[in-house]
Structure 1
Amino acid sequence: MANVGRPKVPVELSKEERETLSRWARRAKSSQALATRSRIVLGSAEGLSNVEVGARCGVDSHTVAKWRRRFLERRLDGLVDEPRLGRPASVTTDQVEDVVVATLESTPKNATHWSRAKMAERSGLSKSTIGRIWKAFELKPHRAEGFKLSNDPVFVEKVYDVVGLYLNPPESAVVLSVDGKSQVQALARSQPAFPMLPGMPEKRIHDYVRHGTTTLFAALNTADGSVISSLHRKHRAAEFRKFLAKIDTEVPEGLEVHLICDNYQTHKTPVVKTWLQNHPRFHLHFTPTYSSWLNQVERFFGFVTEDLLRRSDHRSVQALEADIRKWVKAWNENPTPFIWTKTAEQILESIGRLLNRTSGAGH
């Protein structure tokens, strides 16, 4: 027998509400949260079930039920996360939309981005209200993150090659993500740190004395997370060849060795090529240019930096290298592999969306 539940109150829209919701749903640069809520209400107004609306909008049925109920209770105002503090809203939906659109699609005069003060002056709202609107729509005009698109002519082929090794590694083989972290400095602080106290973080002086540098070569086993490492004072082809030799001694015979490397010239010198010709079980796979995010060993270096190097205090390179060896040994006692989930197709689709959003892309 079909499920029998409490009949839903139909969603009926006025002409003005439908026009507003359609405009919100179409605005590509506005908050995706508001656009999704608008599409939920429009789908509900078509008489679709919560499950059908959820499938269309990419959300679950509980989310559909929530925003359907909010709309029936407060109409358009119910779709906006504007805090009301127990009193009638003093900011209209149109004002919120104006702030969001202006933040995303314009810049203030004589400035590169909006501040709360500048937006408050433009909109006539208070700075605290602007802050609440930006928080509700997860807008952060003061922040910017850098990126650099690869100009590698065989970018697509390299992405498929590297990601294929992560998701479908070859049989009777080990896949190693390899790189060198150069210029690791032995830094000695000029004064001792003030220890952390309740309500007060640790304090470190900015002045320090340099005592030399070292390079950490690392080969991360993508299957189990274990690391083969080596420390050298220089980062040349000779040192990289020595590291390859160490890998050769530590990987059991009979296994093919697939190395994922970046395009650093050290990895392509005649010395390295000759060594590889003499060791045919080794196979190099290069990531595209400007694509270090594709090399898993970079995440390992991130842990080394955060756990050890960022607050290090070493009076000699020897002391620094001893601590690095100790840290890597502890890592290998309980290694953790990085689970890769994105397929090559998903990565290329994400980059395609970025290109579409980038001004002047493709021209």
Structure 2
Amino acid sequence: MASATGMSQSAISRIWRAFGLKPHAIETWKLSTDPQFVDKVRDVVGLYLSPPENALVLAVDEKSQMQAIDRTAPTLPIMPTTPARRTHDYAQHGTTNLFAALDLGSGAVIAQHYRRHRHQEFLRFLKLIDDAVPQDLELHLVLENYATHKTPEVKKWLLRHTRFHLHFTPTSSSWLNLVERWFAELTNRKLRRSAHRSVTELEADVRTWINEWNRDPKPFIWAKTADQILDTLAAYCQRIKASRH
């Protein structure tokens, strides 16, 4: 860039920093093709911004295939001028699936590990939620479009438990489910720097972290309206259309 414009490299660097430009970085994104995209966005965001009275809104999802990973050598601790260091290779000791329901009001989480990820486990988790939440409250669950959430067995159970109301996010729109924000906290604060020699050890460690979280939970506040989200996506679509000409 400096050579092409006749400017100094330091000037180009200052301009990039001033405008937050990062030519070396590329991010990925995916536009949902769900035919009910607009209606689903308005439904889910409406729950976030204006939850119904006498009801609990829960953002529900599964963090599947969590790996129990142990490094092949102990991690070297941080030292003056030297960051903590660990081996690039590791040993795998199995996987587990964490089902989680984030209470949008309080930030508290109902969670349970299951070794498999089928509709049977999803039903067991629904029953856990049913037992954990007072019976006088309606339950509105924000979910993604997994096949395990829509099996005949699940539908029959929901018909017998009428306080449960399911709200599905559009396809390819996991960013609309607030529990994903909590999963990011779990990954950054616990999983990324941890080592576990068994699935049982991983599950116990995560359970301890969740219990600590629930002692002083922090809710995540949804700020954007449905109209703001749809306007932003419309602008992206216009840019895509313009880039093709």
Out of 202, 207, 228, the residue aligned to residue 320 of structure 1 is 202
Query: Is 1:247 aligned with 2:90?
Result: no
Superposition pairs of residues 35-184 of structure 1, within 5 angstroms: 119-184=1-66
Q: CA deviation at 1:126?
A: 2.8
CA distance in 1, matches of 2:49, 2:17: 38
What TM-score do you get using the length of structure 1 for normalisation? 0.66
Out of 272, 296, 308, the residue aligned to residue 178 of structure 2 is 296
1:287-338 CA distances to partner (integer Å, 9 max, x unpaired)? Answer: 0111111100000000110111112111110000000110100000001111
Unaligned runs of 5+ in 1: 1-118
SS in structure 2 of the partner of residue 157 of structure 1: helix
1:88-126 CA distances to partner (integer Å, 9 max, x unpaired)? Answer: xxxxxxxxxxxxxxxxxxxxxxxxxxxxxxx12222223
Provide closer, same or farther for how the CA distance between residues 291 and 328 of structure 1 changes in structure 2, counting only shifts above 3 A.
same
Structure 2 counterpart of 1:358: 240
Provide closer, same or farther for how the CA distance between residues 362 and 236 of structure 1 changes in structure 2, counting only shifts above 3 A.
farther
CA distance in 2, matches of 1:138, 1:260: 34
State the one-letter code of the partner of 2:25.
R
Richer in strand (by share): 2
> Where do 4+ consecutive residues of structure 1 move more than 6 Å?
none
CA contact 1:355–1:361 (8 Å) conserved in 2: no
Out of 294, 303, 307, the residue aligned to residue 189 of structure 2 is 307
Out of 278, 283, 287, the residue aligned to residue 169 of structure 2 is 287
Q: CA deviation at 1:132?
A: 2.1
Moved more, 182-191 or 137-146: 137-146
State the one-letter code of the partner of 1:233.
R
Identity of aligned residues (%): 58
Q: CA deviation at 1:184?
A: 0.3
**Alignment RMSD (CA, Å):** 1.5
Richer in helix (by share): 1
State the one-letter code of the partner of 1:313.
A
SS in structure 1 of the partner of residue 68 of structure 2: strand
Structure 1 counterpart of 2:225: 343
What TM-score do you get using the length of structure 2 for normalisation? 0.96
1:217-268 CA distances to partner (integer Å, 9 max, x unpaired)? Answer: 0000001101000100111111000000000000101111110000111111
Higher relative contact order (CA 8 A, sep 6+): 2
CA distance in 1, matches of 2:174, 2:203: 24
Q: CA deviation at 1:136?
A: 2.5
1:159-214 CA distances to partner (integer Å, 9 max, x unpaired)? Answer: 11001111111111111000000010000110001100122111111111100000
SS in structure 2 of the partner of residue 358 of structure 1: helix
CA distance in 2, matches of 1:142, 1:161: 38
CA distance in 2, matches of 1:360, 1:267: 38
CA distance in 2, matches of 1:232, 1:225: 22
CA contact 1:262–1:287 (8 Å) conserved in 2: yes
Higher Cα radius of gyration: 1
State the one-letter code of the partner of 2:70.
A
CA distance in 2, matches of 1:247, 1:361: 47
Q: CA deviation at 1:360?
A: 5.4
